[in-house]
Amino acid sequence: DDVLVKAVHRIMSHADATRRLAVRANADTGDDAARARRFGAQGIGLCRTEHMFLGDRRELVERLILAGTEEEQEAALAALLPSQRGDFKEIFREMDGLPVTVRLIDPPLHEFLPPLEQLAVKVAIAQERGEDAAKEEALLAAVRRMHEQNPMLGLRGVRLGLVIPGLFAMQVRAIVEAAVECARNGVVAKPEIMVPLVGAVQELETVRAEAEKIIAEVVGDSGVEVLIGTMIEVPRAAVTAGQIAEAAQFFSFGTNDLTQMGWGFSRDDVEQAFFNRYLQLGIFGVSPFESIDAEGIGRLVRIAAEEGRAARPELKLGICGEHGGDPDSVHFFHEVGLDYVSCSPFRIPVARLEAGRAAVETDGSDSR
């Protein structure tokens, strides 16, 4: 066993010495982050903050989304801030010295609203019984106003941030306050704030202007440096990457949504319905949600990488969709010239190995 373990270590260190792609992890909690580090992650490439609001805190978000008055909205935000700060401190502590990309909240709205049907039934029953249902009726009306037929194409990501005042500001404040507190305790926090679902540079500019004010106010003399960047996951963002790079210090490709919107396949539904037929016909060899469709969706990645870098040579480029842990896709991202891939902690060893192999294969020979 000892011999085997040593051999594996040798292989991994060889791959690490050879590869040009850094490997980061997708992690949303301190525990995830610790696990990622054990597997050799060189940072966190995607922290999905909406995951922090599942469970107990779901109601706080619901309260915020459905708030009728400014006071209600402010109260909901004030309740969220301290818990968010705690979330980020935990992660920064685990990732001491390594970059942590925190993505501002990107929930499909339906996950945070009470189910419409259930609420409607409740109201109907109350009315039939002649009970006072004014509160439920108001809630039902509010949920109806927010209801969407296609939540995944709706009020998500940056759109939600632009519509609900104070939401992104609260998160930015929590991230930066957590980083500053860590710095005061000798922990090196390197936050990278990432805006989801951007399709137009103006969206990013709006969020960025607000974030920069908060960062300037909170950072003080702590020495904390905060980057601001964006997901590239809407096809329009990929083809306007040159403009978007003017407002972004980094891009991270969201190949899950890019595949969904590029092919027009629903991430949640479509596979069962006809993917087998497509595989049979050879339209693709594996699901494009698993392995990057190099000639289609991959071209969007390539265009955005080239145009982004042309506009801003120091632009950092990563990918944090599921494809970041898929061997063939890792080769593709190496070849496109990205700086890092980010994947689930358990897929990190494979990504490290594949990144090494890609470097050996495309660069001709092992440079050492």
Q: Which residues bind ligand PEP (CB under 6 A)?
A: 46, 48, 106, 233, 254-257, 320-321
Amino acid, res. 313: P
Q: Is 257 annotated as a binding residue?
A: yes
* Near Mg ion by CB under 5 A: residue from 233, 293, 322, 326: 233
- Is 182 assigned a catalytic role? no
Instruction: Output the smallest distance, CB 17 to ligand PEP, in A.
Output: 29
Q: Which of 47, 182, 320, 343 is catalytic?
A: 320
Q: Is 86 annotated as a binding residue?
A: no
Residue 164 CA to residue 162 CA, distance in Å, equals 6
Identify which of 306, 283, 308, 303 has the alpha carbon closest to the alpha carbon of residue 293. 283
Stretch that binds Mg ion, among 46-54, 142-150, 250-258, 307-315 (CB under 5 A): 250-258
Instruction: Output the smallest distance, CB 267 to ligand PEP, in A.
Output: 8
| Of 139 and 343, CB closest to ligand PEP | 343
Instruction: Output the smallest distance, CB 135 to Mg ion, in A.
Output: 35
Instruction: Output the smallest distance, CB 71 to Mg ion, in A.
Output: 33
190: alpha, beta or left, given left = phi > 0 and alpha = psi -120 to 50?
beta
Residue 29 CA to residue 42 CA, distance in Å, equals 16
Q: Is 256 annotated as a binding residue?
A: yes
Per-residue DSSP letter, 166: T
DSSP codes of every residue in 236-283: HHHHTHHHHHTT-SEEEE-HHHHHHHHHT--TTTHHHHHHHHHHHHTS
Residue 210 CA to residue 260 CA, distance in Å, equals 30
Residue 257 near Mg ion by CB under 5 A: yes
| Of 233 and 322, CB closest to Mg ion | 233
To the nearest 10°, the Cα dihedral for 197, 202, 206, 207? Answer: 20
| Of 322 and 354, CB closest to ligand PEP | 322
Block residue for tokens 């494979």:
350
Q: Which residue positions form the known binding site for Mg(2+)?
A: 233, 257
Q: Which residues bind Mg ion (CB under 5 A)?
A: 233, 254, 257
Catalytic residues: 320
